[in-house]
Amino acid sequence: MGSPAVRMFHRLEGLFCVYKPAGVHWKLVRDTIETNLLKGVNATPARPLPHEVRFLPSPNKDREVAGGLALRAASVPVLSKHPLVTGPEFQHIKVGVGHRLDVSSSGVLVLAVGNGNRTMRDLYRTRTTRDYSLQCEFGMATQDFTDTGRVVERSTYGHITREKMERVIAMLEGANQKALRMYSSVDMSSQEAYELAAKGLLGPDGKSVPILTGLRCVHFQPPNFTLEVQCLNETQKYLRKVVHEMGLELRSTAVCKGVRRTRDGPFTLQHALTRHHWTAADVAQAMQQHRWKKRSKGRCGTVTDKAVAQTPGETLAASQEDEANREATIAELQCR
């Protein structure tokens, strides 16, 4: 139908996620991905140049033709369609970013290409939560709540035990659960509110204040501790502020050394592409895997944020189709 480049372009439509390293602005990641995708699309072997019949002057001087040049028909390639004349076929791909990550955070960053942008918008309209892992340290309070900011105060932390930490975490979770119910737009005196609350689905629709739907301490060794947070409508600066406030509640001080997003909706660290795999082929494969996962999840009939375990038969079929598609893509790229 179209050229191999156009076919490749249409295959590159969907959602995938990358691992954004710390210290890099998210826009740089998005631009790099766009450049790599364009490189991959434009590197597909070009269609052979069309030929047209042109009448060229004949080189043979022996022939004597009365009144005019001697012409001969020749099939020549149309130079105006040569890629060096027209330029690359694609100069722009729409790559959109899901929930952003600030410069010092790292982790899963969801990107959408082409029509995938619409899918991503619909996905984020349903309530999705994000998982973070926060590395924190007691003993310091800084200007911007990280360990590299200007130190405002230092304090002791010898009195902090795991039990006190659990109590503070329970209190924060209670306050956030209440916020979850308060910011929902459902009328509290209706039966619908009770049914949603009993299932645990009562929550805000759309924009609201940042709310932590889950918080727990997974590693505690003073002065270092690690928190796992599940939240919605958050920013990474808010999470660092939560760590700072937790330090204040414990009558000490705390800073956040690192924020790492481990899950964004259905995308986890396992699906994230690292730096060396930001090429068109890997991206196409990642998109295909996500499509298969979504299809099999739809067949199972459950609608949850986390991935549902696939049955062995489906996994086999999925992997076989994956293999076939991967081979087709690689074959296309290899034949130049």
Please report whether residue 216 would count as binding another protein according to CB under 8 A.
yes
Please report whether residue 159 would count as binding another protein according to CB under 8 A.
yes
Please report whether residue 194 would count as binding another protein according to CB under 8 A.
yes
Please report whether residue 35 would count as binding another protein according to CB under 8 A.
no
CB of 35 to another protein, least distance (A): 32
CB of 256 to another protein, least distance (A): 12
Q: For another protein, which stretch binds (CB under 8 A), given 9-17, 55-63, 102-110, 193-201? A: 193-201
Tell me the chain's radius of gyration from C-alpha atoms.
Answer: 29
For another protein, which is the closer residue by CB, 257 or 297? Answer: 257
Please report whether residue 305 would count as binding another protein according to CB under 8 A.
no
Q: Which of 105, 129, 230, 262 binds another protein (CB under 8 A)?
A: 230
Q: For another protein, which stretch binds (CB under 8 A), given 51-59, 73-81, 105-113, 134-142? A: 134-142
- What Å distances lie between residue 183 and 52, 145, 203, 235, 245, CA to CA? 68, 27, 7, 18, 22
CB of 184 to another protein, least distance (A): 13
Q: How far is CA 57 from the centre of its chain?
A: 59
Contacts of 225 (CB under 8 A, 6+ apart): 136, 137, 138, 165, 217, 219
CA dist 78 and 51 (Å) reads 6
Which among 102, 144, 305, 322 is annotated as catalytic?
102
For another protein, which is the closer residue by CB, 251 or 275? Answer: 251
What angle (nearest 5°) sits at the alpha carbon of residue 121, between those of residues 206 and 41? 160
* Burial of 96 from C-beta contacts in 10 A (0-12 / 13-18 / 19+): middle
Please report whether residue 158 would count as binding another protein according to CB under 8 A.
yes
Q: For another protein, which stretch binds (CB under 8 A), given 104-112, 214-222, 233-241, 314-322? A: 214-222
Q: Which of 1, 65, 198, 303 binds another protein (CB under 8 A)?
A: 198
Element (H, E) at 331: helix 312-334
Please report whether residue 307 would count as binding another protein according to CB under 8 A.
no
Please report whether residue 250 would count as binding another protein according to CB under 8 A.
yes
CB atoms within 10 A of CB 164: 13
Q: 258 with 147: CB under 8 angstroms?
A: no
CB of 217 to another protein, least distance (A): 12
Please report whether residue 308 would count as binding another protein according to CB under 8 A.
no
Please report whether residue 315 would count as binding another protein according to CB under 8 A.
no
Q: Which of 42, 184, 252, 329 binds another protein (CB under 8 A)?
A: 252
Residue 331 tokens read as: 């074959």
CA dist 170 and 252 (Å) reads 18
102 in catalytic set: yes
For another protein, which is the closer residue by CB, 28 or 175? Answer: 175
HEC sequence for 259-321: EEEEEECCEEHHHCECHHHCCHHHHHHHHHHHHHHHHHHHHHCCCCCCCCCCCHHHHHHHHHH
Residue 252 tokens read as: 């000490």
Q: For another protein, which stretch binds (CB under 8 A), given 37-45, 118-126, 160-168, 275-283? A: 160-168
Q: How far is CA 251 from the centre of its chain?
A: 38
Chain residues that interact with another protein, rule: CB under 8 A: 137, 139-140, 147-151, 153-156, 158-159, 164, 167-168, 170-171, 173-175, 177-178, 181, 188-191, 193-195, 197-200, 213-216, 230, 249-252, 255
**Catalytic site residues?**
102
